[in-house]
Chain A
Amino acid sequence: MDILNALVAFLNFVFIPAAAYGAQLALGALGVTLIYGILRFSNFAHGDTMAFGTAATILATWGLQGLGITAGPLPTALLALPVGIAVTAAVVLGTDRIVYRFYRARRAAPIILVMASVGVMFVMNGLTRMLPGIGVNEIRFADGARFVIEVRSFREWSGLTEGLALKTTQALTLVVAVLVVWALFRFLNRTKSGKAMRAYSDNEDLALLSGIDPERVVRLTWIIAAALMTIAGTLYGLDKSFKAFNYFQILLPIFAAAIVGGLGNPLGAIAGGFVVAFSEVAVTYPWVKVAGYLFPGWQPDGLLQLLSTEYKFAVSFVILIIVLLFKPTGLFSGKSV
């Protein structure tokens, strides 16, 4: 019985939150890694573009709610996602046309593109704050049913002391992430455009010689990245809450995830997202409860928490450092260093 209680506590406080967070990071890291693979620079505007996409989705959600349309037990934001993706894709294509294309045509050093993306980050940040009703506020926009599994009904059903909660947003995150990843990989591996993208990422010159239109590949990349950013941002916002600054801060775990997996490697980005999320949650979770069930005789005097939650960003940083030290190309061998 105690082992079951320990398992449920572990699932409730570590596994489920980390899995949901990992899925959000993986979607974010997929966007970073795609842009890196095709456009060959680290996009610092990624976090703020996620914030913009989420804000657009929130506005569409409010519009739908105003019309009286909801998605029943699911969050209305799910219905609003296509609108958010379309708006974000338009904005992102606009920034590519105005900003990045110029440097791409001149084959500028990647660091110049990184710097340009910092400029885009500023503009995106300002744009997001200027959207009506968004500003710098913290916004909760999840509606519908809050839980798939509730603590109390789980306790009554199982007879355990520990309860298990599965929030709708967590379940939704996992389902959506699986669908998105499935669709993305199918696109990359089975369609002509996807193969063109992979060819371009592997060897630009060879791809050009075989008649692949580079501007088309770039446009496709931005549209897919915009979709990934909006979905990742919306899921993150539904799960926690929306605050523009948090999206700037999530940039570090996302980069860490992409590098851990190997920049430019989509499979690596997914693995990296989960590695970062599980380490972050495992290191900042106070294990005293789980230990109490597993070793009833043992009374530890601390919380058995390795790091306080304020330092969760340190975890992604340390993982990043370890990977850079020992395997700079990442676990799944991304692009050369």
Chain B
Amino acid sequence: MSTNRQAGASSPWRAPILFAILALLIILEGSWRSALFSGSWNTALAILNMGLISAITALGVNMQWGYAGLFNVGVVGFLALGGLAPVLVSLPPVEGGWAAGGPRVLVALASGLGTLALAVVLWRKLAKSWLRGLVVLAVLIAGFVLYRELFDPAVTAIEANQSARYGNLGGLGWPVLLSWPVGGLFAAAAAWGVGKVALGLRSDYLAIATLGIGEIIVAVLKNEEWLARGVKNITSIPRPVGYEIQLQQNPEFQQAAANWGFPVAEASGIWVKLSYMSLFLVVLLVLILLAELALKSPWGRMMRAIRDNETAAEAMGKNVTNRHLQVFVIGSAVIGIAGAMMITLDGLMAPTGYNPLRYTFLIWVMVIVGGSGNNWGAVLGAVLIWFLWIKAEAWGPQLMSLLTSPLPDGGLKSHLMSSAAHMRFIAMGAVLLLVLRFAPRGLVPEK
């Protein structure tokens, strides 16, 4: 692999043509009912909306990988952490939940963080001797005991409060759109912690550390019921857009639907999805604008210089580790925003759904296929791969029945048919390997 990813030029028409093909695929999905496409605009828009969220996630990953060459394997964790924001910001507070132990939980968390900070300060300030290790260890143990003493009763009290319906703290009751930047902040804070430890070491170490933090964040969301009810899930997160049922009862909307020639139920679904789509598009375009501006600025040139030759950049007086930390935090914040948007779209916080294969590695396939280092490439790759991932569920069995049609009916054929669903993983792995080897610069290469 060449060290300079900017070598060679490609046709300026490449990106527009690929985006046109993508648009055509989505229009076909919406309008042509056939063996390959569903012909339902609701399905097409649902795929597109999730595709746009994937595009924002891919944008964040692309900042880390494309700008700086950082391999983040904990995307799922940062997405999940961002998804916590709509729960904590937009839900109404649970009655009695805060009184049961809210302040105490906050004090406990503060004491935990304070212990860590104190340990770090002591480690730096004290002279290097065997005593230093003992003192820091004692501080950590005492802090942990204090933290558990404060934390456990508070959590028990909160979870006992209306445990069948709530058992959590609830949120602040603010507008749900506010939770999107908050989700970004959550993810950025976690990224700062991980980056501080793992950056500046071998490049594999960041990958392994992010793998760990990803699993831990998901485990926290699954188990801390006071926070977001854990595996009991949170439903009914408020929407930033209208509800289908209200639209269906609105006489003006009924009239408009009749004019378009859609049944009211279908039209209301399409309307809601279109409203989500416009919100997502605004966020996506703003982020791309900012990212492009940053990339063209001196800062962006510096980042690419660091990526292409760390030693040379360091010799020029650039603090490589700090710049890496910066871009890692920014990229994770973008992933966190996408996570908050995803939970807003679903209206449901279900931590068991955060599967790393789907939310970390699929995003990576999107970035690599789209063209690492190119923001439009990441967007294209995200929507395209998401479309194919969804459609592969339907196309896989069809392809398999076509391939196995010459076989006699029996055990082998039925086995192959039933395993067609797992073909998606093999197909995605093969796509990643093929692109990495034969077109390492992706569909839309970096300019």
Closest CB-CB distance, A135 to chain B, in whole Å? 8
- CB of A111 within 8 A of CB of B203, answer yes
Contact among B201, B356, B415 for A328, CB-based, below 8 A: B201
B interface, by DSSP: helix, strand, loop or mixed? helix
Q: Are A125 and B357 CB-contacts (below 8 A) given A118-B432, A310-B222, A317-B212?
A: yes
Complex interface: stretch among A99-107, A183-191, A289-297: A99-107
B426 at the interface (CB under 8 A from A): yes
B184 at the interface (CB under 8 A from A): no
- CB of B1 within 8 A of CB of A126, answer no
Contact with A along B410-447 (1 / 0, CB 8 A): 00000100010011111111101100110000000000
Closest CB-CB distance, A285 to chain B, in whole Å? 16
Contact with B along A111-127 (1 / 0, CB 8 A): 11011101111111111
Complex interface: stretch among B213-221, B281-289, B295-303: B213-221
- CB of B436 within 8 A of CB of A116, answer yes
Please name the residue on chain B nearest to A123 by beta carbon: B429
B interface residue count range (under 10 / 10 to 19 / 20 to 34 / 35 or more): 35 or more
Contact among A127, A135, A320 for B209, CB-based, below 8 A: A320
List residues of chain A with CB within 8 A of the CB of B152. Answer: 302
A50 at the interface (CB under 8 A from B): no
Complex interface: stretch among A137-145, A152-160, A247-255: A247-255
A200 at the interface (CB under 8 A from B): no
List residues of chain A with CB within 8 A of the CB of B223. Answer: 308, 310-311
CA distance A316 to B368 in the complex (A): 30
A175 at the interface (CB under 8 A from B): no
A179 at the interface (CB under 8 A from B): no
Q: Give the interface centre of A116, A120, A314, A317 by most chain B CB atoms within 10 Å.
A: A317
CA distance A123 to B144 in the complex (A): 43
Q: Are A316 and B212 CB-contacts (below 8 A) given A108-B1, A114-B71, A122-B429?
A: yes
- Interfacial residues of chain B within 61-78, with CB under 8 A of chain A in the complex: 69, 71, 73
Contact among A99, A121, A129, A132 for B361, CB-based, below 8 A: A121
- CB of A41 within 8 A of CB of B208, answer no
- Interfacial residues of chain B within 23-58, with CB under 8 A of chain A in the complex: none
Q: Are A106 and B1 CB-contacts (below 8 A) given A311-B219, A316-B212, A324-B197?
A: yes
- CB of B429 within 8 A of CB of A112, answer no
Q: Give the interface centre of A102, A108, A256, A324 by most chain B CB atoms within 10 Å.
A: A324
Q: Are A248 and B356 CB-contacts (below 8 A) given A122-B428, A126-B429, A313-B219?
A: yes
A109 at the interface (CB under 8 A from B): yes
A33 at the interface (CB under 8 A from B): no
CA distance A115 to B372 in the complex (A): 13
CA distance A119 to B219 in the complex (A): 25
A208 at the interface (CB under 8 A from B): no
- CB of B215 within 8 A of CB of A259, answer no
CA distance A83 to B426 in the complex (A): 24
- CB of A126 within 8 A of CB of B433, answer no
Contact with A along B214-251 (1 / 0, CB 8 A): 01100100110000000000000000000000000000
CA distance A161 to B423 in the complex (A): 53
Contact with A along B161-175 (1 / 0, CB 8 A): 000000000000000
Contact among B1, B144, B213, B415 for A132, CB-based, below 8 A: B415
Please name the residue on chain A nearest to B416 by beta carbon: A130
A76 at the interface (CB under 8 A from B): no
- CB of B201 within 8 A of CB of A324, answer yes
A interface, by DSSP: helix, strand, loop or mixed? helix
Closest CB-CB distance, B4 to chain A, in whole Å? 12
List residues of chain B with CB within 8 A of the CB of A1. Answer: none
CA distance A110 to B203 in the complex (A): 8
Please name the residue on chain A nearest to B368 by beta carbon: A115
List residues of chain A with CB within 8 A of the CB of B15. Answer: none
List residues of chain A with CB within 8 A of the CB of B216. Answer: 311, 313-314, 317
CA distance A252 to B432 in the complex (A): 22
B276 at the interface (CB under 8 A from A): no
A148 at the interface (CB under 8 A from B): no
Contact with A along B335-378 (1 / 0, CB 8 A): 00000000000000000000011000100100010000000000
B262 at the interface (CB under 8 A from A): no
Closest CB-CB distance, B321 to chain A, in whole Å? 12
Besides the known contacts A123-B429, A249-B215, 5 further A-B residue pairs in the complex with CB atoms under 8 A apart: A110-B202, A118-B361, A119-B433, A248-B356, A324-B205
Residues of A participating in the B interface, judged by any CB pair closer than 8 Å: 41-42, 44, 99, 102-103, 106, 108-112, 114-116, 118-127, 129-130, 132, 135, 248-249, 251-252, 255-256, 259, 302, 306, 308, 310-311, 313-314, 316-317, 320-321, 324-325, 328, 337
Q: 5 A-B residue contacts at CB 8 Å?
A: A106-B1, A111-B69, A125-B429, A126-B422, A324-B198
Residues of B participating in the A interface, judged by any CB pair closer than 8 Å: 1, 69, 71, 73, 144, 152, 197-198, 201-205, 207-209, 211-213, 215-216, 219, 222-223, 356-357, 361, 364, 368, 415, 419, 422-430, 432-433, 436-437
